[in-house]
Structure 1
Amino acid sequence: MHGPEPRVTLIGRPGCHLCDEAKVVIERVTSELGVAWEERSIDDDAELRSAYAEQIPVTLVDGRRHDFWRVDEARLRAALES
């Protein structure tokens, strides 16, 4: 059985300190709101690398770009609560 469809996707790469910081915020907000999220690496997907290499970390909410470089906790929370 699969869990709920992730509403938040973090696109980054291993060793990226901004990605690590974004992950902390995303984990906190999604945990508090009971929202599923996933992490994807541009190193594993040429299409993601082409689209987002200069912007990581990129946060998608419901499949649409929400933030890049930094995750604003209040803005993410508001997007998920709407």
Structure 2
Amino acid sequence: MTVKVEVFTAPGCSKCGQAKVVLQRVAEALGGVEWKEVNVLEDLDRAVALGVLSTPAIAIDGELVYTGLPSAARLRSELERRLAAGGTPAAEG
């Protein structure tokens, strides 16, 4: 089981780099977390589908959870909770 995280960014976003660093560190510490960066200008449909109105924004398992920059502790707590609940089934193949 894994937790899938998307961090939505945009060019010129001053806090987006920080959000990626925080997410990367927390994901590496926990394990079981797959994450990717989504540029809202390149994947506007995905951002709109999740309700992303500003960057940075973080979606976990297809649900917009944070707008703005969450603290490492808050992000870690949420990811730990979701990992304990089983996350999403890993893709087979």
Query: For this structure pair, what is the TM-score category when the shorter chain's length is used for normalisation?
Result: 0.7 to 0.9
The Cα offsets for residues 24-80 of structure 1, whole Å up to 9 and x where unpaired, read as: 10010001011211110011023226842x411100111111111112211111111
Using the size of structure 2 for normalisation, the TM-score is 0.71
Max radius of gyration: which structure? 2
Structure 2 unaligned runs (5+)? 82-93
C-alpha separation in 2, matches of 1:61 and 1:78: 13
Matched, 1:15 2:12: yes
Using the size of structure 1 for normalisation, the TM-score is 0.80
CA RMSD of aligned residues (A): 2.1
Preserved contact between residue 8 and residue 62 of structure 1 (Cα < 8 Å) = yes
Q: 2:42 aligns with which of 34, 41, 44?
A: 44
Tell me the number of residue pairs that the alignment of Structure 1 and Structure 2 aligns: 78
Using the aligned pairs only, state the percent identity: 33
